[in-house]
Amino acid sequence: MKGSQLRQAAHAIDPIFIDRWSPRAMSGAALSLDELMVLFEAARWAPSASNLQPWRMLYALRTSPHWSMFLGLLSDANRVWAQHGGALVAFISKNTRDDGRPAPTHAFDTGAAWENFALQASMRNLVVHGMQGFDHLRAPTELKLPPDFDIHAMVVVGKPGEVAMLPENLRAREQPSDRRPLHDSVCEGPFGF
Ligand SMILES: Cc1cc2nc3c(=O)[nH]c(=O)nc-3n(C[C@H](O)[C@H](O)[C@H](O)COP(=O)(O)O)c2cc1C
């Protein structure tokens, strides 16, 4: 289902923004490396401060030996549905510049890369769902992150599946969510919320 079937934008935006949402129902079908690379390619073209491209993406296809380690990092609540995905991706970023100085926008830039990735997945009719529910202590170790890299989120990508396959408590939540009104997020001039 496209998000625009149930969502209403308040201004005349392109439908890609409301079409993307975060389903959980996935079929368990494999994802090909080619399908995944298209999403990484979209992420690659994100803007970043000084074009540093601080993002890195670590992935495991469900057919790969790394799949069980990636899946094992997820919280139980996420694993119950994410296990039916075709690929898991860890979005990480380098928090320093090459000269060792801090890179203050590394997380902001990597968020842009993730959104490119997600929009491209949505346009390909794939499920894409970000997850902060993973073991934040074990992930840097098991993914062998160097000390100047931070992990932001794990993401599952998969082929759409039947809602009936989800645990009962998740079935009612399987629909595009709304947003607060724009004036609660935007104000002219200094902070005025
Ligand atoms: C960084 C990030 C972390 C998230 N973590 C989780 C998570 O751990 N589990 C989950 O079910 N959904 C998670 N979500 C999905 C959000 O709840 C979802 O994006 C939000 O409710 C807006 O809904 P929409 O993506 O369908 O538009 C996460 C999303 C993002 C961007």
Q: Is residue 71 part of a domain?
A: yes
Global confidence as pTM: 0.98
Q: Is residue 7 part of a domain?
A: no
Contact between residue 94 and residue 121 where contact means Cβ atoms under 8 Å apart: no
Residue 17 pLDDT:
98
- Which range marks the domain in which residue 110 is found? 29-162
Q: What counts of helices (H) and strands (E) characterise the chain?
A: 7, 4
DSSP state of 16: H
Contact between residue 100 and residue 171 where contact means Cβ atoms under 8 Å apart: no
Task: Give percent of the chain above pLDDT 90.
Answer: 100
Under the banding of pLDDT at 50, 70 and 90, the label for residue 182 is very high
Q: Is residue 176 part of a domain?
A: no
| 122 pocket-lining for ligand 1 (C-beta < 6 Å) | no
Residues 134-160, mean pLDDT to the nearest whole number: 98
Residue 25 pLDDT:
98
Contact between residue 51 and residue 98 where contact means Cβ atoms under 8 Å apart: no
Q: Is residue 110 part of a domain?
A: yes
Provide the CATH number for the domain around residue 146.
3.40.109.10
Q: Is residue 171 part of a domain?
A: no
pLDDT in tens, 20-69: 999 999 999 999 999 999 999 999 999 999 999 999 999 999 999 999 99
Q: Is residue 76 part of a domain?
A: yes
The half-sphere exposure of 79 on its side-chain side, counting CA atoms within 13 A, is: 12
Residue 175 pLDDT:
97
| CA-wise closest residue to 151 among 134, 169, 173 | 134
Contact between residue 129 and residue 52 where contact means Cβ atoms under 8 Å apart: no
**3-class secondary-structure state, position 102:** strand
Q: Is residue 131 part of a domain?
A: yes
Q: How many domains does the chain have?
A: 1
Contact between residue 155 and residue 131 where contact means Cβ atoms under 8 Å apart: yes
| 127 pocket-lining for ligand 1 (C-beta < 6 Å) | no
Residues 179-184, mean pLDDT to the nearest whole number: 98
Residue closest via CA to ligand 1's atom 9 equals 131
pLDDT in tens, 69-81: 999 999 999 999 9
Q: Is residue 179 part of a domain?
A: no
Q: Which residues pair with 89 in a beta bridge?
A: 59, 155
Residues 7-19, mean pLDDT to the nearest whole number: 97
DSSP state of 158: E
Residue 164 pLDDT:
97
| 21 pocket-lining for ligand 1 (C-beta < 6 Å) | yes
- Among 116, 132, 152, 173, the mutation site with the greatest number of ligand 1 atoms within 8 A of its Cβ is 132
